[in-house]
């Protein structure tokens, strides 16, 4: 691994619920320029900390996003495979789901206590265009959307991985969804 060139300072959340009383953060210095957060995590795992646990899948190639690498980067949810790295980063597990270990969560279990998140995203569903097919409900990897009494609502906007994902926008057949950054 190159040790010359600019290195990022990456603080990563570490927690093994089976043996740790509480979580801790470990800092690593790795090359980051022009790389995604997933690239950076892979370097940490490969060269510095083989115990690090994180999920990877489709790697965000092409238009689709499987969503398994959803996590928090510098306070906001993002898909690690599409999030560009910064010089200072804090990486934590996605706030909605139960932590299995380190950055790995169980997408089938919602946390009993969800940390308060500042949201930087505004989602608008155009009522003239929405045909209530609920595709967005099915396709969102972190369950931002909810179908309630025939209406679709982005009730979990604070979990939205924003620009790194945009599956709802990409696949809405009537272009009814607008995702804006505040």
Question: What track of x and - describes contact with another protein for positions 121 through 150 (by CB under 8 A)?
Answer: --------------x--xx-x---------
45 part of the interface to another protein, by CB under 8 A? yes
Between 108 and 116, CB nearer to another protein: 108
Question: What track of x and - describes contact with another protein for positions 54 through 73 (by CB under 8 A)?
Answer: xxxxxxxxxxxxxxx-----
Q: Which stretch binds another protein (CB under 8 A): 1-9, 87-95, 103-111, 116-124?
A: 103-111
How far is the C-alpha of 19 from the C-alpha of 3, rounded, in Å? Answer: 33
Between 90 and 104, CB nearer to another protein: 104
Give the long-range contacts of residues 151-160, CB within 8 A, separation 24 or more: 152/125, 153/125, 154/123, 154/125, 156/96, 157/119, 157/121, 157/122, 157/123, 158/77, 158/95, 158/117, 158/118, 158/119, 159/77, 159/94, 159/95, 159/96, 159/117, 160/77, 160/119, 160/121, 160/123
35 part of the interface to another protein, by CB under 8 A? yes
Check: CB of residue 65 under 8 Å from CB of residue 58.
yes
- Kindly state the tokens that stand for 152: 């679709």
Q: Minimum distance between the CB of residue 71 and another protein, rounded to whole angstroms? A: 14
Binding residues vs another protein (CB under 8 A): 16, 18, 34-36, 39, 45-46, 50-68, 82, 84, 100-102, 104, 106-108, 135, 138-139, 141, 163, 166-167, 170-171, 173
């Amino acid at each position: 691994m190159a040790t010359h060139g600019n290195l990022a300072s990456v603080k990563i959340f570490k927690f093994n619920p089976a043996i740790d009383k509480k979580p801790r953060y470990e800092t690593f210095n790795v090359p980051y320029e022009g790389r995604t957060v997933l690239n950076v995590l892979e370097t940490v795992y490969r060269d510095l900390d083989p115990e690090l646990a994180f999920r990877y899948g489709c790697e965000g190639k092409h238009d689709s996003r499987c969503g398994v690498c959803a996590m928090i980067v510098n306070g906001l949810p993002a898909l690690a495979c599409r999030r560009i790295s910064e010089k200072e980063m804090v990486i934590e597990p996605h706030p909605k789901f139960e932590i299995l270990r380190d950055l790995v969560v169980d997408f089938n279990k919602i946390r009993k206590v969800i940390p308060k998140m500042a949201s930087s995203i505004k989602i608008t569903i155009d009522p003239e265009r929405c045909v209530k097919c609920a595709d967005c409900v099915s396709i969102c990897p972190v369950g931002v959307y909810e179908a309630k009494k025939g209406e679709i609502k982005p009730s979990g906007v604070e979990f939205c991985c924003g620009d790194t994902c945009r599956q709802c926008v990409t696949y809405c057949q009537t272009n009814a969804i607008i995702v804006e950054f505040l």
